[in-house]
Every structure is written in C-alpha cells, then in structure tokens.
Structure 1
Amino acid sequence: MQHDEFIIQVSNRAPLSSRDHAELATRATLETLAEPLAGGEPFNASAQLPRGIAEYLRHQYAESGERFSLDEFFGRISQREGVELPDAVHHARVVIEVLSEAISSGEINDICSQLPSGLEPLFEASSQGQIRVNT
C-alpha cells in the first residue's frame, strides 16, 4: 500500500474533511501505538509501510515499553490529534483497520503480543476475517 492510498483510505472510512486531517489522525494513532511496543517491533512493522507512514512508528518515544490503559491510549490520540475523545476513538479505529490491511498478519500478531493487557482488543478478527477494532 502506498502513502497516498493509506491516507485516502483513512480519510474515506472516517470520513474526514481533508487529507491533512487524515494524516494527523494516522500520525496520532501510530505514534501512540508505537509507545508500548518493545524489541524493535515498531521498526519491524514500519518496514512494511510506505515512507512517511512508517516514520510515525519510529518516533523518539517508540519502543519505550510504556504501559497504559485503553482509555489512556485513546486520550493520548485525542490530545495529539486535537479532537474530542469520541472522534479520536473513531479515527484510531479506522487507522488501525487500515494498518491491519497494509501489513502482514504475522506483523499484526507480533504487535498484539506486545501490547499491554487491555490494549489487545484493538486488533480482533471478526467472523468475516476482517479486523474489527473494539473499544
């Protein structure tokens, strides 16, 4: 998946008013997702993403192994994105859905195995084989 396709998918599925807003939602979600991961996982996952999108997983706090709740996960996204919490939750769901389509299922499994207790439900397969993102 190319950078533009990723952002267009986020923009269309959310739906968001602009490409810039879709980029911001993507950045806020992936930066937050990278924080609790460790062992090079953000870098492994980013290797399967287009440049630009990949950079959001490789920021200075990536791999910190910090533990936080699902509520805090969404709160951080809300703050980074500068939107109300319900909007941040929806945007994060969409970004994670697109991410799950952009990288291999093995990489998704690796990410899930490192998430703190309580964040695993972000990636849950539905009966159709698609990723269903929960709160």
Structure 2
Amino acid sequence: MDYDTFVDQVARRTRTGPERAVALAHATLATLADRLTGGDVLDLATQLPAPLRLALRPGPGNEAAERFGAAEFVARVAGRGDLTEPAAREAVRAVLATVREAVSGGEFDDLVTRLPRDYRDLVEPALTPGGTMSRRA
C-alpha cells in the first residue's frame, strides 16, 4: 500500500482530513514502537510506506519492548494525538485496521500475538479486512 492510500484509509475510518489522519497514524505507530521489540518494529516498518517509518524508529537501547496494557496504549496515543481517550481508542482501531491492510497477513498476525489479551478490543476490528469503526472518533 502506498502512503497516500494509507492516509486516505485512516482518514476515511476516522472521518477526518488527511492532515489529521497523518497525526493519528504517527501517534499510534510511535506508541506501537514503544510496545514492540526493536526487531519487531523494524520488521513492521519495512512493510509500511517510507513516511510512516519515522514513527516506528526505535530509540537507542530500545531492543526490549515496554510492557504496558491497552489502557496505557490508548492513553499514550491520546497524549501524542491531543485526543480524548475514547477518540484515541477509535483512532488506534482505524490505524491498526489500515496497518493490517498495508502489511502481509503474517506480519500483522505476528504483531497481534505479541500483544496481551487486553488489546483484543483494539485489534479485533483490524482482523476483518476493510474493517470500519463502529463509532465516531
């Protein structure tokens, strides 16, 4: 998937404009980079459009994943994206659904298996290709 298509899909799912969709994608991907090991981040980044790879850049010494649950994930996205937590939850769902469409199925499945069960509410919409959001963000 190319960058413009990725942004358009996030914008459609979040019912926002392209600029806001980019901000939501970066907030979600940067938080995902915090949660994954450096190797997992690099595996994912290689399959995403180049402009999105910057959000997934692991910092020095970030080989180990930070351990935090879904509520903390949403709170971090809310902070990075200047969102309420309910809006951040919907943005995460939209971005993850778009990531699933952008990467090979195996890569997304590997990513999901590395997350604890409490992430299920965030990733289930992404498990259905073309999944859309159930509520307004």
TM-score (norm 1): 0.84
Q: 2:53 aligns to what?
A: 54
The 8 Å contact of residues 38 and 58 in structure 2, kept in 1 or not, is answered as no
Q: 1:37 aligns to what?
A: 36
Counterpart CA distance in 2 for 1:20 and 1:48 is 22
Matches within 5 A, 1:78-117: 78-117=78-117
- Aligned partner letter, 2:65: G
Counterpart CA distance in 1 for 2:104 and 2:37 is 18
Q: 1:10 aligns to what?
A: 10
The 8 Å contact of residues 14 and 90 in structure 2, kept in 1 or not, is answered as yes
Percent of counterpart pairs with the same letter? 33
Change beyond 3 A, Cα 1:69–1:78: same
The 8 Å contact of residues 9 and 98 in structure 1, kept in 2 or not, is answered as yes
Aligned-partner SS, 1:60? coil
- Aligned partner letter, 2:52: I
For this pair of structures, how many residues does the alignment match?
132
Q: Deviation per CA, 1:46-77, whole angstroms, max 9, x where unpaired? A: 11111011221124276541111111110000
- Considering only aligned residues, what root-mean-square deviation do their CA atoms show, in Å? 2.5
TM-score (norm 2): 0.83
The yes-or-no answer on 1:26 pairing with 2:25 is: yes
Q: Which runs of no fewer than 5 residues in structure 2 stay unpaired?
A: none
Counterpart CA distance in 1 for 2:19 and 2:55 is 15
Counterpart CA distance in 2 for 1:59 and 1:109 is 20
Aligned-partner SS, 1:52? helix
- Aligned partner letter, 1:35: D
Counterpart CA distance in 2 for 1:81 and 1:93 is 14
Q: Which runs of no fewer than 5 residues in structure 1 stay unpaired?
A: none
Bigger helix fraction: 2
Change beyond 3 A, Cα 1:102–1:27: same
Q: CA deviation at 1:119?
A: 2.4
Aligned-partner SS, 1:53? helix
